[in-house]
Amino acid sequence: MALLEVNDLKTSFQTDDGIVRAVDGVSFSVEKGETLGIVGESGSGKSVTCLTIMGLNAKKNTITSGNALFNGEDLLTAGARRLREIRGNDIAMIFQDPMTSLNPVHSIGTQLVEAVQLHRDVSKKAARGRALELLKAVGIPRAERRLDDYPHQFSGGMRQRAMIAMALVNDPDLLIADEPTTALDVTTQAQIMNLMKRLQEDFGSAIIVITHDLGVVAETADDVLVMYAAQVAEHAPVHKLFNRPHHPYTWGLLGSLPRLDADVDRLVQIPGQPPSLLRPPSGCRFHPRCPYVMDKCRTEDPPLVGISDDPEHLQACHLDEATKDREAAKLLETTMAHTG
Amino acid sequence: MIRYLIRRVLWAIVLFLVVTMVTYVIFFLVPNDLAAKVAGQGSSQDQRARAIHYLGLDRPVYVQYSRFLWRMIKPIPVEVAGVPVFVRPQADLGRSFVEARPVNEIIKAAAPVTASLVFGGVVVWMLIALPVGILSALRPRSLLDRVSMTFVLIGISAHPVWIGLIFAYVFGYKFGWFPIQGYCDFINPATDCGGPVQWAYHMFLPWITYAILFAALYVRMIRANVLEALNEDYVRTARAKGAPEWRVLRSHVLRNALLPVVTMLGMDIGVGLGGAIFTETIYGLPGLGRTVIRAIGINDLPIVMGVVVFATFAIIVLNLIIDLLYAWIDPRIRLS
């Protein structure tokens, strides 16, 4: 049994302008100790997917369907109390901006101790000890003194480390990281991702990394989910996604990565804008921006199916496989040419 | 922290000097027939001239002001068992022109009344504003929320004088539930108007009248702050940690949302000293407000100066306390 199995998850928000389908039929599973990367543009539904799993959406005006089985238990129908037991304990989540995600008037130590004492019946002293242990594990120097410091006394990278410590303090089976490195500079990004990989080895937790950065995904994920307009465009193990991408959107994403060794005047971009989720395009949602669009694409929503010779590589596109293989190969030639 | 304190105290002194000087000059420039009042009706020109000279009012304004200042700050030795150990400022505010009493005495009698009104009023308005503000924010656009916002509108628009008169008429005169005039001492003298119960009984309508405007303002502010805090990222983090909603509210939402309330309270108590004038007049409370209004009417400068000095001093000290309190509760300020 998979650690987390999500089936046909749909989340809609009732707004004054109509119903926004933020997540429209997403399925995936995560095994113990594995890392799943969810990639997509802003507004693709990647964050809302995970917020829905955690039950952190506002209750009013939100309609959810499908199921999210965590060790066989459906989180979407679990009661509030059960969800609170699971959050911060079996499943932990960290967010994008560590400055605003930490309470500015409580010390880091207080917030870590709170995380411990919410789920373990231990004394404050014991909780502090555990907090200290985690701060050291995430590489914060002089951790004993830093326990009583406040968030604004930490640098951005340190704050994110503290958040990771707070998430891991109760040894969760699954860590969901929503854009963990987006607010950090590049070198700090690398440090944080290495830290997460190392902690995964030490603690054995599964990780879901939500990001728009393909580089992060390439480095850390075992499995990748590419989302577009609240749906899954492609879903494959990481090396297969990068070596044989089978969706025009993925080609666009890979092709638009800036390259140091190529001499280009303008970056390649996917033309157009992500669609409104109030009134998504008919048929395949990517069709208004797709250079390979056919008549069928405008009317029929492509199903998410495996490639004929590789069933674990899923993609949702009407193009024939031969064309896709050809385009993938072309893309690899131009983008991977100089990496040897 | 010490440097901050010293700087604040120095500024406080400057402020004090400016306020008292301005008041003095304004008073000096207003035409008055003080001489007639002091010397009495039917006094001769000569008697009036002597009265003016006696009070020192024929000297230039800066001489009068410096004498006033010196009388206040002149160091007097503080003796312990007959041995001078320390010095303190004399703090003599002079004598009233019209009543032959030292101003210090007048202030000492009136200050507790105003203090009762203002501090009691603070308690009443916070007791109303906190629950109403917080609940309105937790249930926006509900019936409770709409009712409280209507109350806010009325509370801000209606003048305390009007509210006071209406309350005094309805609850005091018509229903006879509360007395409409007078003040009873908190400490128990031998009359039947004394002791905590009588004190509170007489203060009840004044407190409500005084508090309504501020309660309305604070409900609105607290509601806005709590609504904003509920949307902050750290609240989401707290929920993601598995915290129950009451804990999220207490430890995360309110702890941040109510910080600005502390600063506002400090400022508003100062403003409130001015607002107390209306309430004291309506309900016949012998506080500083009513005292100073009377003194202005009869041009009794020492009393006016006395109240100004006392009020300035009280507001400065209060704001200093609030500043220190705020630095203590907000670690971002404390450590910068």
Q: Where are the domains of chain B?
A: 2-89, 103-334
Confidence class for position A186, pLDDT limits 50, 70, 90 = confident
CB contacts of B232 in chain A (<8 Å) are: 100
Chain A residues whose C-beta is within 8 A of a chain B C-beta are: 54, 56, 83-89, 92-93, 95, 97, 100-107, 114-115, 118-119, 150, 152-153, 163, 166
3-state secondary structure B244-294: CHHHHHHHHHHHHHCHHHHHHHHHHHHHHHHHHHHHHHHHCCCCHHHHHHH
B255 and A103 within 8 Å at the Cβ level: the answer is yes
Residue A275: pLDDT above 80?
Answer: yes
Contact: B331, A101; criterion CB under 8 Å: no
CB A43 within 8 A of CB A274: yes
Q: Please give the angle made by the CA atoms of A30, A32 and A35, to the nearest 5 degrees.
A: 55
| pLDDT higher than 80, residue B99 | no
Mean per-residue pLDDT over chain B, rounded? 84
pLDDT at A340 over 70: no
The structural domains of chain A, with segments of one domain joined by +, span: 4-225, 242-339
Q: Check CB contact of B261 with chain A, cutoff 8 Å.
A: no
pTM: 0.82
Predicted local confidence at residue B70, as pLDDT:
83
User: What stretches of chain A adopt beta strand conformation (E)?
Assistant: 4-15, 18-30, 35-39, 62-70, 73-74, 91-94, 174-178, 206-211, 223-228, 231-237, 305-307, 310-315
Interchain CB distance below 8 Å, B256 and A86:
no
Closest chain B C-alpha to A47 CA, distance in angstroms: 13
DSSP conformation class of A151: G
Task: Find chain B residues with C-beta within 8 A of A92's C-beta.
Answer: 240-241
Based on its alpha-carbon atoms, the radius of gyration of chain B, rounded to whole angstroms, reads 25
The pLDDT tens digits of the residues spanning B180-227 come to 787 877 776 666 777 778 888 888 888 998 899 899 999 999 999 999
Query: What is the tens place of the pLDDT at every residue in B274-297?
Result: 888 888 888 888 889 888 888 888
**E strand or H helix at A136, and its extent?**
helix A124-137
User: How many Cβ contacts (< 8 angstroms) between chains A and B?
Assistant: 75
Query: Could B239 and A56 be called an inter-chain contact, meaning their C-beta atoms sit closer than 8 Å?
Result: yes
**Residues A4-225, CATH architecture:** 3-Layer(aba) Sandwich (3.40)
Q: A104 to chain B: which residues are within 8 Å by CB? A: 234, 256, 331-332
Contact B234 A104 (CB under 8 A): yes
Task: Identify the closest residue of chain B to A107 by CA–CA distance.
Answer: B331
Higher pLDDT, B161 or A261: B161
Question: ipTM of the assembly?
Answer: 0.88
The alpha-carbon gap from A148 to the nearest alpha carbon of chain B, in Å, equals: 11
Residues 231-250 of B with CB under 8 A from A: 232-234, 236-244
- State percent of chain B over pLDDT 70: 94
Query: Which residue in chain A is spatially nearest to B237 when comparing CA positions?
Result: A101
**CB-based contact A107 B331, cutoff 8 Å:** yes
Q: Does B255 contact A56 at a Cβ distance shorter than 8 Å?
A: no
| Chain A partners within 8 Å of B234 (Cβ) | 100-104
Q: Which CATH class is domain B103-334?
A: mainly alpha
Q: Which of A85, A104, A163 shows the shortest C-beta gap to B242?
A: A85
B267 touches chain A (CB under 8 A): no
Residues A95, B256: C-beta atoms closer than 8 Å: no
**Distance of residue A96 Cα from the nearest chain B Cα, in angstroms:** 10
Give me the percent of chain B exceeding a pLDDT of 90. Answer: 21
> Residue A65 contacts by C-beta under 8 Å, 6 or more apart in sequence?
A8, A9, A10
Helix (H, G, I), strand (E, B) or coil at A123: coil
pLDDT number for residue B187? 73
The answer to whether A48 touches A255, Cβ cutoff 8 Å, is no
- CB of B256 within 8 Å of a chain A CB? The answer is yes
